[in-house]
Structure 1
Amino acid sequence: MAFISNVAVKAAGVAALLVVAVVSPAARAAAVAVAGGAPSVPAGPLDIAQLGAKGDGKSDSTPMILKAWKNACEATGVQKIVIPPGNYLTGGLELKGPCKSSIIIRLDGNLLGTGDLSAYQRNWIEIENVENLSINGHGTIDGQGALVWSKNQCQHSYNCKILPNSLVLDFVTNVQIRGITLLNSKFFHLNIFECKNVLIDKVTVKAPGDSPNTDGIHIGDSSNVTISSTTIGVGDDCISIGPGSKMIRIHGVKCGPGHGISVGSLGRYKDEKDVEDVQVTGCTIAGTTNGLRIKSYEDSKSSLKASKFLYEGITMDNVSYPIIIDQKYCPNNICVKSGASKVAVNDVVFKNIHGTSNTPEAITLNCANNLPCQGVQLVNVDIKYNGSGNKTMAVCKNAIGKSIGLAKELACI
C-alpha cells in the first residue's frame, strides 16, 4: 500500500464528533475529532436512501455510498453519512481522503458484501488517508463470507489468493468505531494498518468457529489503539497484533470461539518493526484453541523486539493452550527447522490469570536456543486441566524470569 502524505493542518476551530465514556487517554484521543471552521453544505445528500439506495438486499448500493462519501469528504466541518434501516448490497467501496471534513458514518442498516468476488479490487470497505472518522450505530457489516469460504486456500498454501477483508483502515488518524456488528467476513473482519489514535468500543464481531482466516481485529504498524468492551467469536484470532504495533490497550474483551489474543506472527518478512507496550486486561477467553499467545517464525527474516507486555486479570474457560510464547512457530512446515531466531521476546508479565484448560499443558514457553526469552514473569497464575487421566503442567524451554504464587507444577521458571 503506497504511503499518502499527511493532510495539511486545518484552519482553527474545534468540533467534537462524539463525547463518549472512555477508558484511557488513548480512547479519549480517538473519540474527539478536530474540524476546521463551520460546516459547509455538501454537494448533495448524505443519506444513501435519498441518493437512491434500496434496502431490499438485492439492489446494488455501491454508487450511492460512494457518492455520499464524496459529498461528505468535499465539505468542511463535521458531516454525517447515514445508512438507514434496511439491507444494502454492495461491492468494493474505496473511501479515500484526504477530506476537508470530519466524517461520521451512522450505520443503522445492514451492509451486505456481494458474493461476486469480481466486484472487489482488494477489500470490501477500505477507508484511506482520513483524519477524524467515527463509525457508530446499531447496524451490521455483513461480509456474507459463507458464499465464498470454500474458495479460501490459505489453510493449505501461504501463497494463496487472499479474499476481501470486510473493513480496512489505512493511514487513518483519530477514529472511533462504536456499537456496530461485524459479521461473517470473507477474510479479516477489521484490519487496522498505519493508523493512530483508534478506539474500538462496544463492538460485536461474529463468525462460525470453523470459518477460515476470519480474524476479528488485526492491528499492524499502528499506535495508540484501544479495544474495549467488545465481544469477538470467530474462526481465527479474536485479536491479532502484528509488527510495528505500539501502545495497544485491550480491556474487557470477551473472546471465543477462535484462536485467542495473539501477537504475531513475527519475523515472516524483512524489515518488520518492533512490537511494544501491549496491555491485555480484564478479559475472558472461552473455548478457544489458544489463549494469550506470542509467536514468531523459527527462521525469522527480521531482527525485531517484542517487549513490554502485560496480561492481567484474565479468565480462561476451557481453553486448549491458555498461555503460549512460541519462538519456533512454523506453519505448514515452511521454515528452516534449524533457523536461528532474530525476534527477541522481553519483559512479558502474566499476572492474576485463572481458569481451566482442556489440555494438560496450561503454560507453554517455547523460546529459541540462540535467543532465550528474557524477563518473563508468571504471577498468581492458577489454571487447572479440566480433564481426567493427566495432571496440569507447564512446558518451558529457554525462558528466563521468575514464578510467584504458582502451584509447583506450573512454576517452570
Structure 2
Amino acid sequence: MEKILLITLLVMVAVAHAHADNSIYDEMFMLEEFEDLHTSDEIEQELLEIPGWKSERGSKVLVNVDGFGAVGDGITDDTQAFLSAWNKSCSIPKSVFLVPERRRYLLKPAAFKGPCADKLIIQIDGTIVAPDDPKNWDPKNPRTWLHFSKLKGVSFQGAGVIDGSGGKWWDSSCKRNKSNPCREAPTALTIQSSSAVSVNGLNIQNSQQMHFVISNSDSVRVLNVKISAPESSPNTDGIHITKSTNVVIQDCKIGTGDDCISIVNGSSGIKMKNIYCGPGHGISIGSLGKDNSTGIVTKIVLDNAYFKETTNGLRIKTWQGGSGYVRAVRFENVRVENIANPIIIDQFYCDSPKSCKNQTSAVEISQIVYRNISGTTKSARAMKFACSDTVPCNKIVLGNINLEKDDGTVETYCNSATGFGYGYVHPSADCLQSSDKDMHSDQKEDIEIVQPFKDDHIHTEL
C-alpha cells in the first residue's frame, strides 16, 4: 500500500512538473526501485538464527581462556593465553571461545586469524581492556588492537565489554592539541576479510580511535551493540564500513566523538535500522575522494533513526578532486533533536589544517532520497546541498520533511544540486528545481539568488 501511495504521489508531482525535462520520470522509476531495498523482514528472521551456547552446551566444546592461563585481574598481560585459546577453539567444530563474566582481561594488540572450523561462537561476557599508555604500544601494530580476519559463519555475542582505554590517546591527538603530531591510532575491534559473521549484544567503549571497523567483508550482521565514548574524543567513529557488502546494523545505540556510522569506498548493500545516534557527528557516507582517489558507495538504506544533539544528521561528504559516485541511497523515518546540520551533502569537505585547493573533478552524487525526516535544528540552514559546479548533485528527492528551529526561521541551501520534493517539505526546497547555483529557499519567500556565506566551500571537520 505504501508503495502504491508513493507512486501515486510521484505521478502527481510529474504532472505538476510537466514543463520540466524528462528527468522527473527517471526519478520516479528510481524511487520505485528503492522500494525493493527492504530492511525489516530479513533482519528479523536472522535474529532468530543467532545461536545460544548455553542452551546447546551439550553439543558445544567450551574453550575457556582461563584454562590457558588467563588471569583476568586487569593487570596481568593475558594476550598469549587468549591466542592459545583461540588456536584451540578455531580448530574444533562447534566450539565456544569463552571470555568469562566478572573478569577483566588486559590484552595487547592481538590478531585472531581464521579460517576456523564450523560454527564457532565467540562468547564475550567479561571485560577486555587495552593498555592505557600509547608509549607501551607495539609500533608494529599502530592501527589495530583486537583484529579478527578470514572468518566465515562465526558469531560474536555476549554482554561483555571491549574497552580501548583511549584517554591518553585522545590527549596526544593533533585534533585535540594542534601542537601534537598527527599519527595513527588503533581501532578497538576489526573484522576483516570475513563473511557470514554476526555480532550481537557487545559493548565497545573508549576506543583509541575508531571503535568497530568492518573491512573487505560480506554478509555481516551487527545487532544490539552499544558503542560509547566522550563527545570530545577525536576520530572515535562508532562503526566504520569499508570495502564491504551486505552489512546490516540494527537496534544499536552509538554515541562518540565522531561519526556514529561511517560508510566509505567499495561498500554496497548497507542496511541500518533502529539506530540511536548521539553525541557524535551523525551518520556519514564518506569521506570519499581524498587525494584524488576514487570512491564508490551504492545501495544504502537507513530506516528509523533518532539523532540527539549531534553535529550532523544525514551526511554525504566528499573531497574535491575525487572521482567515482554515491548513488541509490534512502534515508527514511528519522527524528532529529537539536542538531546542527540535519541534512547535508558536502562536496567541498576539507578535514585539513590547511585550506584545500579548488579542483574540478568530484565524486558524483545522485539518486538520494530523504523521506519522513522531522525534528529541530540548531542551524538556519536545515538542509544544505553544497555540490560541485562541474559534477552537480542530481536526483535529490525530498518527501515529508519538517525541520524547525526553536529561535528562528529555517532555509534550504543549494549549490549545483537538482531534484524535487513531494508531500510536505519544510523548509521549502524549491532551489533544487533549478540548476542555478548558490540558491536558498524557505517557506515564506520565493527563490532568490544570494551570495554564499564565506565558509560555504571551506569545510573542516565539524
TM-score (norm 2): 0.78
Equivalent position of 1:7 in the other structure: none
CA spacing shift, 1:41–1:133, aligned 2, 3 Å: closer
Equivalent position of 1:79 in the other structure: 95
Letter in 1 for 2:312: N
Q: Is the 8 A contact 2:403 2:426 kept in 1?
A: no
State the distance in 2 between where 1:28 and 1:334 align: 49
Instruction: Please give the per-residue CA displacement for 1:310-358, whole angstroms capped at 9, x wherever unaligned.
Output: 0000001001110000111122265643201331101000111000001
Equivalent position of 1:3 in the other structure: none
SS at match of 1:263: strand
State the distance in 1 between where 2:351 and 2:259 align: 15
CA spacing shift, 1:330–1:157, aligned 2, 3 Å: farther
Equivalent position of 2:450 in the other structure: none
Letter in 1 for 2:157: N
Q: Is the 8 A contact 2:295 2:363 kept in 1?
A: no
Q: Is the 8 A contact 1:30 1:175 kept in 2?
A: no
1:293 maps to 2:310:
no
Instruction: Please give the per-residue CA displacement for 1:174-211, whole angstroms capped at 9, x wherever unaligned.
Output: 11111110010000000010010011101100000010
Equivalent position of 2:431 in the other structure: 412
State the distance in 2 between where 1:270 and 1:24 align: 39
Aligned equivalent of 2:121, options 104, 108, 121: 104
State the distance in 2 between where 1:40 and 1:380 align: 52
Equivalent position of 1:246 in the other structure: 268
Q: Is the 8 A contact 2:145 2:189 kept in 1?
A: yes
Aligned equivalent of 1:142, options 163, 168, 174: 163
CA spacing shift, 1:31–1:144, aligned 2, 3 Å: farther
Equivalent position of 1:13 in the other structure: none
Equivalent position of 2:457 in the other structure: none
TM-score (norm 1): 0.87
Letter in 1 for 2:419: G
1:337 maps to 2:342:
no
Instruction: Please give the per-residue CA displacement for 1:44-73, whole angstroms capped at 9, x wherever unaligned.
Output: x71011222122211111111111110011
Quote how far apart the aligned CAs of 1:271 are: 5.4
Q: Is the 8 A contact 1:30 1:198 kept in 2?
A: no
Quote how far apart the aligned CAs of 1:144 are: 0.8
Aligned equivalent of 1:196, options 215, 218, 222: 218
Aligned equivalent of 1:184, options 206, 231, 240: 206
Aligned equivalent of 1:70, options 87, 90, 96: 87
Instruction: Please give the per-residue CA displacement for 1:253-295, whole angstroms capped at 9, x wherever unaligned.
Output: 0000000000000111565352000001100011000110001
Q: Tell me the matched-pair count.
A: 381
CA spacing shift, 1:235–1:55, aligned 2, 3 Å: same
Equivalent position of 1:165 in the other structure: 187
1:34-73 pair list within 5 angstroms: 46-73=63-90
Letter in 1 for 2:88: N
**Structure 2 gap ranges (5+):** 1-38, 52-57, 433-462
Q: Which has the larger radius of gyration?
A: 2
Aligned equivalent of 1:391, options 393, 396, 409: 409
Q: Is the 8 A contact 2:362 2:391 kept in 1?
A: yes
- Choose 115-124 or 394-403, whichever is displaced more: 115-124
Equivalent position of 1:114 in the other structure: 131
Quote how far apart the aligned CAs of 1:79 are: 1.3
Let me know the Cα RMSD of the aligned residues: 2.4
Q: Percent identity?
A: 32
Quote how far apart the aligned CAs of 1:101 are: 3.4
Q: Is the 8 A contact 2:325 2:365 kept in 1?
A: yes
CA spacing shift, 1:335–1:306, aligned 2, 3 Å: farther
1:402 maps to 2:420:
yes
State the distance in 2 between where 1:296 and 1:32 align: 38
SS at match of 2:167: helix
State the distance in 1 between where 2:207 and 2:48 align: 26
Equivalent position of 2:146 in the other structure: 125
Quote how far apart the aligned CAs of 1:411 are: 4.1
Quote how far apart the aligned CAs of 1:137 are: 0.6
1:223-242 pair list within 5 angstroms: 223-242=245-264
Letter in 2 for 1:260: G
Letter in 1 for 2:385: L
Q: Is the 8 A contact 1:297 1:341 kept in 2?
A: no
1:94 maps to 2:106:
no
State the distance in 2 between where 1:28 and 1:335 align: 49
State the distance in 1 between where 2:355 and 2:83 align: 43
State the distance in 1 between where 2:132 and 2:111 align: 17
1:267 maps to 2:289:
yes
1:361 maps to 2:381:
yes
- Choose 258-267 or 100-109, whichever is displaced more: 100-109
State the distance in 1 between where 2:45 and 2:286 align: 27
Q: Is the 8 A contact 1:189 1:217 kept in 2?
A: yes
- Choose 47-56 or 212-221, whichever is displaced more: 47-56
SS at match of 1:370: coil
